[in-house]
Amino acid sequence: MLKKRRKDRKRREVVEKNWKERRQRKRIAKDRRRSKEQREEAEKKLELVGSCRDQSITRVRNRCVDTGNPRFVVRWFRRSGLQVRERALAGKLPGVYKISW
């Protein structure tokens, strides 16, 4: 799991570094007021191949900070459901408490 967490962290860094540039190119590619050549050039630069694919935000997967588990991650806490439950019952999550009927 440690390897997957490192890889995911690296992907997040690459996305963070390149998201502004990609967003700008997407705008140019969609803008009908621009010339056809400019739009095609922007689309060509947006195409991702090989290691550049990690620049896309869709490649990032939410993972639990503690365990690295990709399933049932509660975004608010960035932890898996099991970890949220255990920490909430132990009183380690501020503002979260168990409700009994």
pTM: 0.62
- CA gyration radius, the chain: 20
Residue 24 has pLDDT above 60, yes or no: yes
Name, in order, each residue with C-beta under 8 angstroms of 42's C-beta and a sequence gap of 6 or more.
25, 26, 28, 29
H or E segment to which residue 73 belongs: strand 73-74
User: What is the rounded CA–CA span in Å between residue 101 and residue 97?
Assistant: 13
What's the confidence (pLDDT) of residue 49?
A: 58
What's the confidence (pLDDT) of residue 1?
A: 73
